[in-house]
Amino acid sequence: MKKTKRAPAARKPRPVSRAALSGEADPRLVRMSVSIQDDAALHSQDIRGSQAHVAMLAAQGIVPPAVARKIRRGLDQVRREFAQGAIRHDPRLEDVHTHAERRLGELVGRAAGYLHAGRSRNDQVALDERLFIVESCDRAAQALAGMMRSLLGQARRHEKTLLPGYTHLQRAQPVSLAHHLLAHVEMLGRDRERFGEVRRRAAISPLGSGALAGTTLKLDRERVARDLGLDGVTRNSLDAVADRDSAIELCFACALCAVHLSRLGEEIVLWTTREFGFMELDDSFATGSSLMPQKKNSDVAELARGRAGTAIGDLVALLAIVKSLPLAYNRDMQEDKRPLLGAPRMLVETLDALSGAVETARFQPERMRAALEGGESLATDAAEWLVERGVPFREAHEAVGKAAAFASSAGRPLSGLPVAVWRRFHPRFDGGVLRCFDPERSLARRDLPGGPAPRRVAAELRRWEKLLGRER
C-alpha cells in the first residue's frame, strides 16, 4: 500500500535576536526573556517612530517611496490592531518591536524587510521610551493642574476660615484655610515645573545611533526628530542607547509628587476623624466597613499615602538596574519597563481621584475656629508684643512661656489671663497685650511676602488662578 506523504509541519517563528544561532531557545530562557506583557504598552510610540523612520529612509533614497507608503499604511493597521487587542502575544517573539514587525510582514509581505534599515532595537527602544516620557510628562502636568484647581477652589471659598497651623502635630499659630491649601498648591507647582524639566531633557531623538555605533547609511536624524515633535538629536551614539536618565528622572518626579500627595493624604485622614472634625469627604469618595456600619473611611487619602511607597520603590528599582552597567546597551535595561510604565500611570490616577475628593469635600469652619480657642496659638504674638517694646526676644519668650505654663496649671485659657497676672511675668506687660489674642488681627499683621495676611493670600490666589487659567 502506497504511503501518503505527510505535509511538513509549519516552522515555529524564532525570535529575531536568534538569527545567528541554531535551534530553538530553551523555554526557560524564553519565559525569562519575554517582555511583550510589559512593553506592548509602547506600541503607539513604537509605530510612530517606525513611520517617521521609514519616511526618512524614503526621502534619503534608501527605500523606494512606494514601498515606504505601503509600510506606513501597514503600520497604521498594526496600530489599530494593537489598540483593539487583536495582536496575539507570542512569547517567542519577545517584545513589542518584533510583534509589530512580524504583523507588518503578514500585511505587506517582503516590503516589511526594508523598515529596519539603519536601526537597531537598542536605539528603537530608547526612542520609544523617550516618546513615552514626553507624553507622560504632559499627562502628569495636566493632572497636576486639575489637582491644583481643586485646591484653589476650596481656598477661594475659605479665605476667611481660620484654623491652627501645626508643627510636630501640635497647635502652633493661626492661619487661614486658604493659606494652608495654598501650601499644597506650591508643592504641586514645583512638581509641574519638574515634569517640564524632565520633558525638555527627554525630547531628543536617539534614533540613528544603531546598536551603539550608528550606521553607514546616510540617515537624516534631524528630520526624524522634527517629524516626531522632538527638539533635537543625541550627541553620542554610545550614550544614546545606554542612557536611561530620562526614565529615572521621570520616576523621581513621580516619586516626589507622590510624596507630596501622601502628605496631603495624611492631613485628610487626620482632618476627617472625629477627633479633628475639620473636614468631611463626600460619600462618593469614601468607603464603608465590611463589619462596622457606622464607619466612613477616607480610603482615597490612605491609598494616596500608600502609593508613595510604590513610587519610591519604582525609582529605587531603576537606579539599581543601571548602577553598574558598562556601556553600551545591556539586557538588564529590559527590566526598566515596569517601573517606567507604571509610575506615571499610577500618579495620574491618584491625582485624578484625590482632585475629586478635595473638590467635593466639605470643611467645617466652626470646628477649626474652636481649635483656636484659649489663645495658646497666639502666644508668639504676645512675645513679639514685648519685643516691639524693646524687650530682647529670649526674655520675652521666657516670660510668655511662664504665663502659658501658669494658665495651663490653673486650667485657664491664656487669652483669659488678666493684666495683673501678665505683669507677674514681666513688668512691661500692660493692657495692650490682650489685643494680641484676636486671630484676625494676628493674621492681618503678618503682612509679609509669603505670609498669611488676607491681602497676601488673596494676591496668591489671583496669581495661581491666572497662571492655571492661562494654561487651560
Chain position carrying cell 476627617: 272
**Rounded Cα distance, 182 and 168, in Å:** 20
| Catalytic site includes residue 289 | yes
Assign 3-state DSSP to the chain and report helix, strand, coil percentages, each to 5: 65, 5, 30
Residue 42 contacts residue 124 (beta carbons within 8 Å): no
Q: CA 294, CA 279: separation in Å to the nearest integer?
A: 17
Spatial distance between the Cα atoms of 219 and 197, rounded to a whole number of angstroms:
29
DSSP code of 327?
S
Within 86-120, residue ranges assigned H as helices are 96-108
Q: Look up residue 387 and give its amino acid.
A: V
Is 43 an annotated catalytic residue? no
Residue 340, burial from CB neighbour count under 10 angstroms (0-12, 13-18, 19+):
buried
The total of other beta-carbon atoms located within 10 Å of residue 366's CB is: 11
**Amino acid type, 286:** A
CA atoms within 13 A on the CB side of 33: 18
The rounded distance, in Å, linking the Cα atoms of 135 and 116 is: 24
Q: Which of the 8 DSSP states describes residue 427?
A: T
- The residues, ordered by sequence, that sit 6+ positions from 79 with a Cβ below 8 Å of its Cβ are 43, 44, 47
Of the residues 33, 136, 176, 289, only one is catalytic, namely 289
Q: Would you mind telling me the total number of residues written for the chain in this entry?
A: 472
| Catalytic, out of 168, 284, 290, 324 | 168
Residue 209, all three cell numbers: 545611533
Question: Alpha-carbon distance 122 to 334, whole Å?
Answer: 10
Question: Residue holding cell 516619586?
Answer: 255
User: Catalytic positions, please?
Assistant: 168, 289
